[in-house]
Amino acid sequence: MSQQFMMEKEEIYSKVMRAGRRTYFFDVRETKAGDYYLTVTESKKFTNDDGSFHYKKHKIYLYKEDFADFKENLDEMIQYVLDEKGEEVISERHQTDYKREEDEDAGSSETSSFTDVEFDDI
């Protein structure tokens, strides 16, 4: 059997999610024993100085015995982020008027609490 045929046979169901420079691949695959598992691959595009590009990929394998715990933890983490920060995206990339706290502090006209110390005083 050819390598190409084996790879096609291994993928049972796939979905792709594009997110800016990142692409996520969700693939249901089959084990040699005939059971299913899930792979999640993050692929991120990088541009080289000469204009060419390459991709870096990271993959996780998730087996059925871990689905419930994984989903529970993922749901909990997502809910925590939404509860703490809401659904609005807050970042330099997504908001043109975004200012970090350090930037705002640096532009402040208030005097800082720094005390000038002479080494002769020690």
CA–CA distance, 120 with 55 (Å, rounded to integer) = 58
Note the pLDDT of residue 17. Answer: 97
Q: Is the pLDDT of residue 80 over 60?
A: yes
pLDDT of residue 9 exceeding 90, the answer is no
Q: What predicted TM-score, i.e. pTM, was given to this entire model? A: 0.64
Q: Is the pLDDT of residue 8 over 50?
A: no
What integer best gives the mean pLDDT of the chain? 81
Query: For 50, which DSSP code?
Result: T
Phi, psi angle pair for 121, to nearest 5°: -75, -15
Is residue 21's pLDDT more than 80?
yes
Given a cut of 50, whether residue 102 has pLDDT beyond it is yes
pLDDT of amino acid 73: 98
Per-position b or e across 28-66, b if 16+ CB within 10 A of its CB: ebeeeeeeebbbeebbeeeeeeeeeeeeeeeeeeeeeee
Domains of the chain, start order: 3-106 (3.10.450.700)
> Which has the higher per-residue pLDDT, 77 or 6?
77
